[in-house]
Amino acid sequence: MAKIRNNGKLTDGQVGFLLVVPGIAVFIAVILYPFISAILMSFTDRTLLSPSSNGVGFANYRKIFSDPYFLKTVWTTIVFVIFSTLIPFTLGLIWAIVLNQGFRGSEFLRGVTLVNWIIPGTAIGFLWSWIFNGQYGILNGLLISLGIIDSNISFLGQTSTALPCVIIARSWQMLPWYMAFLLGGLQSVPMDRIEAARIDGANNLQVFRYIVIPGMRQIFFLVLILGAIGNLQHFDIPWTMTQGGPARATTTLSLEVYRTAFQNWKLGQAATVGTIWAILLAAFSFVYLKQVKESE
């Protein structure tokens, strides 16, 4: 700060650079240095059992690309990220519209909705695995007492239902977060333009389509990107609910990395999965950056 104060002697470029110095320092310490050492690690047989390791060239990469399950894991990750971003986004938007109506108690509901998001992820995982449990689950109990089903369904024990269950739990956790952002967005939509449109005879759908959505484009983009990144990194809920099973149905890249590194002790191989993941994402980021540039 003190240096910036002497700005008389500094050019704008120098000031700009100084501003980013704290960021760079933290970035190098906790991201860049660990990141580079992880990439280097991906070319070794480093394990958690010993600090020494040997270079193995591309052996880890070959191993992963010849693993018949790797593509499936990538696919599961994509499905998980897309649905657990879009479902709470859509529900969060509707919920924000409902709460934005300003009826009695809406402020209170808004606050209470946030509770879901603050409960530690592990506890949420346990809550939902209890709801979906195939033996003493709450959902099964409810469905049976309503006469909808005769015998318990093993929601988490079947490949077809396990991933949707995990996505529902994750959506429940994140809905409040989308709601909070989108509510802010809704309130920033200029009212005068809506009123003008009303005078021209626009109905609700037209107002939503031609004024609300364009007005919120920036915030939509922001929450979708942040949400997708969060889901990509997400670990707690699928880990507590299914440990990636049954038969790998809920194994995402994040779980795979954790399992390879901290259960199979193969740091080199885990770093390889991480590096491939980073490359895939770099492609995605590139598209994103291009988009940002074009909109500028």
Rounded-to-integer distance, Cα 152 and Cα 144, Å = 8
Nearest approach, Cβ of residue 38 and another protein (Å): 5
Of 81, 166, 167, 189, which lies in the binding site for another protein, with binding defined by CB under 8 A?
189
The number of residues that bind another protein (CB under 8 A) is: 131
DSSP 70-107: HHHHHHHHHHHHHHHHHHHHHHHHHHHHHHTT--TTHH
Q: Is 14 in the site for another protein (CB under 8 A)?
A: yes
Q: Is 65 in the site for another protein (CB under 8 A)?
A: no
Q: Is 53 in the site for another protein (CB under 8 A)?
A: no
Build a one-symbol-per-residue string for 117-156: x at contacts with another protein by CB under 8 A, - elsewhere: xxxxxxx--xxx-xx-xxxx-x--x------------xxx
With CA atoms as reference, report the closest residue to 43 among 52, 55, 34. Answer: 55
Give the number of C-alpha atoms closer than 13 A to the C-alpha of residue 79, restricted to the C-beta side: 18
Phi, then psi, of 190 in degrees rounded to 5: -65, 120
Segment near another protein (CB under 8 A); pick from 53-61, 73-81, 261-269: 261-269
Q: Is 210 in the site for another protein (CB under 8 A)?
A: no
Look at residue 50 and give its three-state secondary structure: strand
DSSP 207-242: HIIIIIHHHTHHHHHHHHHHHHHHHHH--HHHHHHH
User: Closer CB to another protein, residue 79 or residue 186?
Assistant: 186
Rounded-to-integer distance, Cα 247 and Cα 52, Å = 34
Q: Is 291 in the site for another protein (CB under 8 A)?
A: no
Q: Is 70 in the site for another protein (CB under 8 A)?
A: no
Q: Is 33 in the site for another protein (CB under 8 A)?
A: yes
Binding to another protein (CB under 8 A): which residues in 219-248? Answer: 222, 226, 229, 232-233, 235-236, 242-243, 245-248
Q: Is 27 in the site for another protein (CB under 8 A)?
A: yes
Q: Is 270 in the site for another protein (CB under 8 A)?
A: yes
Q: Is 273 in the site for another protein (CB under 8 A)?
A: yes
Report the b/e string of 267-287 with b at 16+ CB within 10 A: bbbbbbbbbbbeeeeeeeeee
Q: Is 54 in the site for another protein (CB under 8 A)?
A: no
Q: Is 100 in the site for another protein (CB under 8 A)?
A: yes
Nearest approach, Cβ of residue 57 and another protein (Å): 19
Q: Is 29 in the site for another protein (CB under 8 A)?
A: yes
Rounded-to-integer distance, Cα 146 and Cα 262, Å = 44
Q: Is 167 in the site for another protein (CB under 8 A)?
A: no
Report the b/e string of 97-119 with b at 16+ CB within 10 A: eebbeeeeeeeeebeebeebbee
Nearest approach, Cβ of residue 35 and another protein (Å): 5
Q: Is 214 in the site for another protein (CB under 8 A)?
A: no
